[in-house]
Structure 1
């Protein structure tokens, strides 16, 4: 049923599978380094040998991430061969069946999820992306693994060296019943050199060290340390193929909207900006007034480098601050097309912007004064860093947030530019 010889496993993967007998077993390191496959195999073997007492659990950020990261790979016959026939799960269900055993699936998006563990007794638990779970949930899960010989198996990408998982567990492995294996991208024998090169090109700075090198490194200083006005600011724009808008909503704080275009030269351009600072203007605007102002701005905008271009631009999508529910409703009522909530994953959004800037694929028109004033000072919060968290300082970041919304939400449209063109702009 489980034939390890048919899988292209490295010695490190095989060693970790055989040695995962501690109370806490953690696979950590870079993306696509083979840690998830090794940990899932170790978990399935543990399920096969588990006793009748105590629950078997898989935990993750959400049920959807558990399905995507754990169950779908296990059910993939191209990966696990005959074993995949012994994994059953109906999408959306909170249980799965693995080798005939019922496995409970628990999402842990916030501290409230800790209550889902109270009262249960477990003998085996698998945790997907452990650094994304609340510390209290992890602590409660360990307390529930009370059957003799109970084990926890977990995977994670690196985070801050001050993260609770690193400081409280990995760094104390010699004090605990804990085994850990660190994986780098080179540890995955199934990856082609071309794929490794492409993946490496997609990560820069902090994220390259974490996601490619597998290092637990601290976020410090400027967030966009690759930002260079001489390189990234332009006074002319090429012809544009398409447009999108990113919008950060504010009433007492500034309201910022950015027009992002895909240039005919295969670069992304922040073409224009509209801002309203109610404190500076001594006048607040209603949702209806903001809606009218944004629509008028788009209707009146002209390509600054094309004197023959007519007025008006129609973005394919407008990505809006997800918390701005009333403004989203107002735009719908006013007939603004292509409205959607932005992907507000802060770290992932910052990484997307950083990748484009580092590759020379994101340029900003000199008219975007608010954005140009914010980017040089957009910095990591040292107080959050001291707690093991990556969080920007929430000061003068409204246009920067709008940029993050529109860039990250359109990632599937421009991701290929990172590998197709790796030379810096001239």
Structure 2
């Protein structure tokens, strides 16, 4: 590292926590992995160690930085590296334009790569790498990671990676962290939320209160645990189901899970004057409860009529009508019937985590008339067979209301997330 940065290095090391400093000093193996809780300091520590490595990396190989997408890599890693408040004078040594396929660190060319599917391994095939940084390693396809290891062919090549924990059967945990042979060439640094002594106590309390069950164990305690049991085990029927609704500050969305042979379930969400989200009403039609088979046109018009006469609210037209992204023709029908549908963001785990946080913080309330939704939320569970394969997935059984709720909230989160009341 250039001597001109020595003063900046000293200043920054003084800002780091003891756990961060120890990990940076010890990151000298072929694979160096920072894993653990959110906001625990692992990403900044790993990025700092990576930045210290770049100037001394072999010039006979190429340098790469990898994330699930280039945008995610920029947001999580490159943007903090370019922030003088975090990296001091060293921030000026990082040059990157968001979206670009390369950046420069201390003048060295670094390839910036998104690896969101199995085909991504072709992006590094044939490379000889001197060093790599990997953000959110558990989100990468296993074949990409395997290919990356074969590319680390330059003398002294190293990988610097960070990740949140996943299932204990995830390939990164089972085949690398827990494998005695692999551990001979690895350093693994584990972080808990409380390791970050620079965080304000109210923020730490908020993070802890915002997570429950699986997500608390992984993202607060930094544990590799399997998804099992009830998904929304933090839901409290006594306090989060109401008979009387406050006045709505604004309508947010309708979420619709359309089914031709399966039930169709729709939920109406509003933001109350108390700055909590409310599931105000639901529409549900299941063929098993009637001998009538509904066409898409029939279902669309029934949903319109439901929104024309919402109990205690009358005609409601929220700005977003969010529909299962696979129901393209049903979206067309809704449009013809006067609604303005949009395809849902179907990021299942991220959506479940969002709903879990809202429930844990008592920021989401359901009206007692939403009987089918309340039945589902009590029985919504993780799929035990998927867990055996190292996957986190809900059991696909009686989950149509759960999908509709997730669509309605996750797709519109930018509309309401800064208007919620703080957790008590």
TM over 0.5: yes
2:10 matched residue in structure 1: 5
Q: 1:106, 1:124 → 2: CA distance?
A: 13
Q: CA offsets per residue over residues 12-66 of structure 1, 9 Å max, x none?
A: 2122112211111100111111111111111111111011111111111111111
Q: 1:263-342 to 2 correspondence within 5 Å?
A: 263-278=272-287, 280-303=289-312, 311-337=314-340, 339-342=341-344
Aligned with 1:253 (options 248, 257, 262): 262
Q: Are 1:184 and 2:195 counterparts?
A: no
Q: 1:71-220 to 2 correspondence within 5 Å?
A: 71-172=78-179, 175-220=183-228
Q: 2:94, 2:237 → 1: CA distance?
A: 54
Deviation at 1:265, TM superposition (A): 3.3
Q: 1:282, 1:110 → 2: CA distance?
A: 44
Q: Are 1:225 and 2:225 counterparts?
A: no
* CA RMSD across the alignment: 2.1
Q: 1:51-66 to 2 correspondence within 5 Å?
A: 51-66=58-73
**Further displaced range: 176-185 or 261-270:** 261-270
Aligned with 1:368 (options 367, 370, 378): 370
2:389 matched residue in structure 1: 387
Deviation at 1:110, TM superposition (A): 1.3
The 1:5–1:286 alpha-carbon spacing in structure 2 relative to 1, beyond 3 Å, is: farther
The 1:10–1:227 alpha-carbon spacing in structure 2 relative to 1, beyond 3 Å, is: closer
Q: Secondary structure at the match of 2:87?
A: helix
Q: Tell me if the contact between 1:361 and 1:417 (Cα under 8 Å) persists in the aligned partners.
A: no
Q: CA offsets per residue over residues 283-335 of structure 1, 9 Å max, x none?
A: 544443333222221012132xxxxx5x2112132222222223333333444
The 1:406–1:41 alpha-carbon spacing in structure 2 relative to 1, beyond 3 Å, is: same
**Further displaced range: 229-238 or 188-197:** 229-238
Q: Tell me if the contact between 2:129 and 2:157 (Cα under 8 Å) persists in the aligned partners.
A: yes
Q: Tell me if the contact between 2:352 and 2:406 (Cα under 8 Å) persists in the aligned partners.
A: yes
Q: List alignment gaps of at least 5 residues for structure 1.
A: 304-308
Give the number of equivalent residue pairs: 415
2:409 matched residue in structure 1: 407
Q: 1:147, 1:406 → 2: CA distance?
A: 49
The 1:78–1:227 alpha-carbon spacing in structure 2 relative to 1, beyond 3 Å, is: closer
Q: Tell me if the contact between 2:358 and 2:364 (Cα under 8 Å) persists in the aligned partners.
A: yes
Q: 1:361, 1:68 → 2: CA distance?
A: 27
Q: Tell me if the contact between 2:269 and 2:279 (Cα under 8 Å) persists in the aligned partners.
A: yes
Alignment TM-score, normalising by the size of structure 1:
0.91
The 1:341–1:181 alpha-carbon spacing in structure 2 relative to 1, beyond 3 Å, is: same
Q: Secondary structure at the match of 2:300?
A: helix
Q: Secondary structure at the match of 1:27?
A: strand
**Further displaced range: 177-186 or 294-303:** 294-303
Q: 1:193, 1:417 → 2: CA distance?
A: 22
Deviation at 1:418, TM superposition (A): 7.2
**Further displaced range: 325-334 or 24-33:** 325-334
Q: 1:179, 1:220 → 2: CA distance?
A: 29
Q: List alignment gaps of at least 5 residues for structure 2.
A: none
Q: CA offsets per residue over residues 366-410 of structure 1, 9 Å max, x none?
A: 222321221222110111111221100111111111111222334
Deviation at 1:104, TM superposition (A): 0.8
Alignment TM-score, normalising by the size of structure 2:
0.91
Q: Secondary structure at the match of 1:196?
A: helix
Q: 1:344-355 to 2 correspondence within 5 Å?
A: 344-355=346-357
